[in-house]
Structures are given as structure tokens and as C-alpha cells.
Chain A
Amino acid sequence: MSEMKFTRDHEWVRLDGDAATIGITDHAQNALGDVVFVDLPEIGREVAAGEACAVVESVKAASDIYAPVGGRIVEVNSALAEDPSLVNREPIGEGWFFKLEPRDPAEAAGLMDEAAYHAFVESEA
């Protein structure tokens, strides 16, 4: 049973048992434009919720990606090194960024669900 939550910085996090998978939303990839490189965190790094831990580079600019929940990085999406455009094509699928082991799974409870995130994006437009 997996559950998807969203941040105000347009990251998504999918909680799946002991692991949390993190990426950016379709809205975010569309706003960034063509992604040409993703700088991913070191495996084993401990990050706090809200900490900048990856950078996504489009043709135009570099943007920080923040950890939606705190924890230890356990895996990064190595496919992005070969094909960063996965982020544009499948932002909430094959274009995921990294996985972490949440320190406190309850942290995710404070994030938005899908309906709340869509309402948030609408309110920003």
C-alpha cells in the first residue's frame, strides 16, 4: 500500500513501507523546461526535512530539490545520468530522483495529498 504526498516546493514523495521515493511533479517539470542534468545526493547522506539535497538543471537554470521528509538516502536513480529527460517525460514514474529511509514516517502526515496539491497549484497560478 503506497501513498503519495506533495510539498509546496513541488516535490512528490511516495511512502512504501520503510522507503520513501522522491521526485518532482508534472507541474514542476513543465515549469522547469527541458531537464539536461540532475545532481543527486550521495548514498548514505542524512538529510533533514526541507534540506536541499539535489539540483535539477534545465537549459535555462539550476533549481534546488528539497527532501520532503528527513532520513538517510538509500538509493538514487542512476538512469537520470544517461537520460535526464526522463524527468520531463515521466516525472512521477521513471523520472524519480532518490529514495530515503524516513527517520520519522509521521513527518509525511503534514504534507499535502493529491487533491490539496492540485488546489495549491491552482492558487499559485
Chain B
Amino acid sequence: MADSTDQTPDQAPLETPLGRLHRSLGGRMVPFAGYAMPVQYPAGIMAEHLHCRSAAALFDVSHMGQAELLGDGAAAALERLTPADVQGLKPGRQRYGLLTTMAGGIFDDFMVANLGDRLFLVVNASRKEQDFALIEAALPAGVRLHRLPDRALLALQGPQAVATLAPLAPDLAKLSFLGMAETSIAGTPALVSRSGYTGEDGYEISLPAERAEAFARSLLDLPGVAPAGLGARDSLRLEAGLCLYGNDIDETTSPVEAGLTWTIGKRRRMEGNFPGAERVREELANGPRRLRIGLRPEGRQPARGHTPIHAPGGEAIGEITSGGFGPSLGGPMAMGYVARPQAADGTALELMVRGKALPARVAPLPFIPHRYAR
């Protein structure tokens, strides 16, 4: 038995503020983006995934990069690096966006919130150093990036998440999807958004690192809350059709190819003043060469990332970027890119798994409908 997908770390992995908690819960720690993270707890990925879809799951996402952007003109400064409409973001609102490259690729994806007196950013763990360096290099005088390495980030996700947290923080139930508020939960100061990466309702909670373990334990003591690791986080986001940076989007994929044109603000598209605007404009006008699609393989066999996608009996037309088994879907699922003529829902394709052609069909995303609190 040999695992074909685990990566070897270059150096000793970093710890999040919850490292001790993960180990005391029996978490199986693996290296991820330079951190030791729990891939699963004793319940296992399948049970943790299904628990998130039926009740509430607690994830440690403290490895992600958090920062504030302060000063007059912070939103305009960030817009130099992203096609997202940051200036139009109202106080108390959060938005998903992309940092783009001059060539029209995706440098990273991120969340930005308007906290009234400043912007709050969350970026990918694997990209945070590059992102923060890129942002700092683009800032005019008077705008400052303040990194927040001393904050933890927890995600409480699932249909019971809001009701479960309500006794500790009654005002949070009033937050709408992608709303963000500074509040206090059972005496702990927290920055909370109604968002997540599972397709379920729930919160992401930023709080001081030194309060994180006690706070996480108090959440785990609430009825119906169970810990979930990176394995379930990955199968949940894939069922929800959400991209993983480095797999489904990277510097070679454009926002249009990735089906993320909706992250480009209308004003921004008109102005065309963001990195890579030329490629975006060209692809919107003429159609991109390839498109990100969902795939349902026939039968039960999963097809993993980097599996070649062929036209039936024919040539390679693309590649899977994320693939696995959907516990809620009850079958295999994948995302990938194919040439535009083959991207229509229902198109029959073949996945070359270990030299054998596995029949599959293009399927609409998400695989499992989102249940956000709109």
C-alpha cells in the first residue's frame, strides 16, 4: 500500500494555535501549505463530511492569511490588483475576488470585507507571502497593509451552525450571507462573517490566537458540533463546486476560463483597469479556449487531479484539476478544464484512469446545491 498523493514537506511544518487541540482530539496531522493540519479526526472524512451537511462542523483554517488594509484610498489601491469591485463594497459586507496577473491568470483568490474604517482580507495559506508582498508593493503613500499572524480563523459550517451559536451570540443570527460584523462571542472578541467553503450556511470567525483553543473547545461542547479536518473540507468544497487555488485555478487559468467572470465588478469590466484586463476582454468577446466544468464519472471509480480528459475514442481535450468521491453525492465527482466545444452539460467524455477509459459526463456545478442564508 503506497499513498500516491501525499506530499513531503521541505521543512518542519508550522503549527496553528489549535495544534494541541487537534492532537488531543485524535486528529491525523499532515503537512499542508507549510502547516501541520488535521486531515481527519477518528470519525473519518466520510462521517465528518456528512455531519457538516446535517448538523455543524468546526474547521481550523488558521493557516490562511489574514490582514487589514488601512488608510484613505485602501479600496482603490486593492483594485489595482483585482477586477473585483472593492470600492463598491458596503460597510459590513464581504466579497469573493481574484488577484489577477498582467497576463490575465489568477494570482490568488481571496475574501475582502469592508469593516467601515478598514478592509479585512483572507487569502490562501499557500499564497499568503506572495499575496502580501504583491499588495504591499502596489500601495500608495497613506495606505498600509497590516498582517494579522496572531489571529486564528475558525469555520463553523452546516445547517445547524447558526442556531447552535445563537445562545452565545444572539446578534449573529441577523447577519445575512456575506455579512461581516465585529462582535463578542461568550466574552471573546471576534470578527465574524456569514460565509464558508462548504456550500452550507455558517460562519467564519477570526479571533485572537491566544483565545482560540478555549473558544474552539467551547464550540465543540455545543450540542451537534463535531470537528472536521482538511479531508472533509476538500470533499465538501468540491461537491459545492468551489475552486481550490493551485488545483482548479492558478496563474495559467483566466477568470473567464474558470467561470469566475461573476467576480468581476460591472464597473471594473467597463473600466478595464485591472491586471490582465486585455485577456479577460478578449475571452469575453470571443469565448475562452477552454472552460472549467464539472464531471460525473460513471460507476463508483473516482478520477483524481491530472487525469487526462479525452473526447470519446479520441484525443485529449483537457485535464481534471480536482477529483474524488462525494460522500453526499454518493458517487465520484471531478472538476477540470476542457476545450469549449466539449464543455456543454451532458457531453459524454472519457477519463484516462491508469490507462483505461472511464466514461463520464459533463455535469452542472455545484454537485450539491448551496444552502446559503440569502
Q: Which positions in A face B, CB cutoff 8 Å?
A: 9-11, 24, 28, 31-34, 36-37, 39, 55-66, 81, 84
Contact = CB atoms under 8 A, between A and B. Distances in A.
Interface stretch (B40-48, B133-141, B264-272): B40-48
A63 B1 contact: yes
A28 to B, nearest CB: 5
Interface stretch (B85-93, B300-308, B344-352): B300-308
Name B's interface SS: mixed
A58 B5 CA distance: 12
Contacts of A34: 44-46, 327
Nearest to A56: B1
Nearest to A7: B1
B174 to A, nearest CB: 36
Interface residues of B, number: 24
Interface of B: 1-6, 39-40, 44-46, 49, 231, 234-235, 300-302, 304, 324-325, 327, 332, 354
Contacts of B6: 61
A87 B30 CA distance: 23
Contacts of A59: 45-46, 49, 231, 235, 324-325, 327
Contacts of A81: 300
Nearest to A54: B1
B354 A63 contact: no
Contacts of A11: 1
A39 B354 contact: yes
Contacts of B49: 59
B59 to A, nearest CB: 16
A84 B301 CA distance: 11
Contacts of B39: 60
A36 B325 contact: yes
Contact of A61 (B3, B46, B327, B354): B3
Contacts of A65: 1
A60 to B, nearest CB: 5
A62 B304 contact: yes
B228 to A, nearest CB: 12
A56 B6 CA distance: 15
Contact of A60 (B300, B324, B332, B354): B324
